[in-house]
Amino acid sequence: MLKDKIVFVTGASRGIGKAIALEMAKNGADVAICYSSDGEAAEAVCTEIHALGRDAQAYRCDVSDYQQCSDTVKAAIAHFGRLDVLVNNAGITKDNLLLMMKEEEFDRVIATNLKGAFNMMKHAGAHFLKRKQGTIINIASVSGMMGNAGQANYAAAKAGLIGLTKTAARELAARGITCNAIAPGFITTDMTQQLTDKQRENIIATIPLKRMGQPEDIANLAVFLASPLAAYITGEVIKVDGGIYI
Ligand code: NDP
């Protein structure tokens, strides 16, 4: 479905980003990935992709840093020759109740989850514009659509990411570039490992499908959105959440 496409996935050393990188490769893509701290895990993802017969390259890049994003996009284009798809997946949580939330907790989450996507969209977007084609997929969250107690910073960043997605879709459509967001519900990754058993039980009780999602549930939709089958879809926010926000 993605034969010889070049896909860049941020935050792909583990979790949802790793699943997206692997699923893209299984469908014929070569993959550039970035990570912030765990180089060994990122190299292991590249090894798995090489075993699938596709090219892969890992870059250390803090997506909240504008210059690092510029350098990394340039390095990936130099290695792969071009980019076709950008997946903004890198994200963090620093949960706290609004009135307890430290300024640093708010700023860090906005810088990574929202400004990080802006940084990558600016640098990869300029390349897409020149080529008059490109696909951007932003990993948002149902928290950004419905709010979530304890996640003022995270929900604000993800709501902002949805606004960024819709604006980019409008601005870039005439240049042959699509931009969509995926809004996951609760997915089993390190991010949700922080939940206690009791919290997990309470959450599952509110999910109509009565289970947490798997990273592959998100990756499958990312592959579809990156493929020619989704060529006429832009500006959409698609939930993959087991029905938690119907
Ligand atoms: P994980 O915590 O499992 O993985 C996060 C990934 O992002 C890691 O690869 C990490 O790299 C990378 N990362 C973190 N900060 C930065 C940074 N500043 N620059 C570059 N990379 C960075 O998260 P998930 O897989 O669970 O989440 C992936 C995305 O999906 C996030 O945007 C998250 O908000 C979203 N999401 C997740 C949900 C869930 O239930 N899990 C629900 C809804 C949305 P490293 O290991 O090197 O630090």
Residue 180 falls in which region: left (phi positive, over 0), alpha (psi -120 to 50) or beta = beta
Distance of CA 240 to the CA centre of its chain: 13
User: Residues enclosing ligand 1, CB less than 6 A?
Assistant: 10-17, 34-38, 61-64, 89-92, 112-113, 139, 141, 184, 186-187, 189-192
Predicted confidence at residue 202, as pLDDT, reads 94
Residue nearest to atom 6 of ligand 1 (CA): 11
**213 DSSP 8-state letter:** B
Residue with tokens 């997605």: 165
Q: Note if 245 is an active site residue.
A: no
Which residue of the set 35, 59, 66, 154 is catalytic?
Answer: 154
- Identify the pLDDT of residue 194: 85
How is 173-188 classified by DSSP, letter by letter?
A: GGGTEEEEEEEE-SB-
Closest atom, ligand 1, to C-alpha of 143: 43
> What does each of the 246 residues of the chain score in pLDDT, given as a tens digit?
999 999 999 999 999 999 999 999 999 999 999 999 999 999 999 999 999 999 999 999 999 999 999 999 999 999 999 999 999 999 999 999 999 999 999 999 999 999 999 999 999 999 999 999 999 999 999 999 999 999 999 999 999 999 999 999 999 999 999 999 999 999 999 999 988 999 999 999 999 999 999 999 999 999 999 999 999 999 999 999 999 999
CA 143 – CA 124 distance, rounded (Å): 26
Helix or strand holding residue 79 (H, E) = helix 66-80
pLDDT given at position 195: 87
Kindly state the tokens that stand for 212. Answer: 């947490």
Residues 20 and 218: beta-carbon distance below 8 Å:
yes
Tokens of 224: 């579809």
d(CA 91, CA 114): 9
Residue 174 Cα, ligand 1 centroid: separation in angstroms?
Answer: 31
Predicted local confidence at residue 178, as pLDDT: 98
For residue 75, give Cα distances in angstroms to 102, 127, 131.
36, 13, 17
